[in-house]
Amino acid sequence: MKKLSLVSLAVIGCLGLGACEKVHDLSRDELDVANNGGLAYANGQGKRFLQCSGLDSNKDGYVTCSMKDERHLNEPATEFLCAYNRPGCKGK
């Protein structure tokens, strides 16, 4: 009986908080939009575009992308956000 109660609580908590929702896995077209935007954004910053993640974990219409400074390739990449439903990126 105790196990059933814990499972029930977990399901109720999951549904109530929306924590069980699957992340949005971008289609090829959506990823192309994000990557093209990321390339333009990185070039505008004078940096090298690396990639966009392809997953929208909070379903806000943006994915995390990364870029590096050509002069400081040993330093960590800089992350930024790109939309995948329309062109456009912004700092994180």
Task: Report pTM.
Answer: 0.74
In the chain, how many domains are there?
Answer: 1
Amino acid at 39: L
Q: Is residue 6 part of a domain?
A: no
Q: Is residue 1 part of a domain?
A: no
Range of the structural domain that residue 86 is part of: 22-91
Q: Identify which has the larger pLDDT, 91 or 3.
A: 91
In this structure, are residues 65 and 73 in contact, taking their beta carbons and an 8 Å threshold?
no
Structure tokens belonging to residue 29: 């077209």
* CA 39/CA 74 separation, integer angstroms: 20
- Segment 22-74, tens digit of pLDDT: 899 999 999 999 999 999 999 999 999 999 999 999 999 999 999 999 898 89
Q: Is residue 4 part of a domain?
A: no
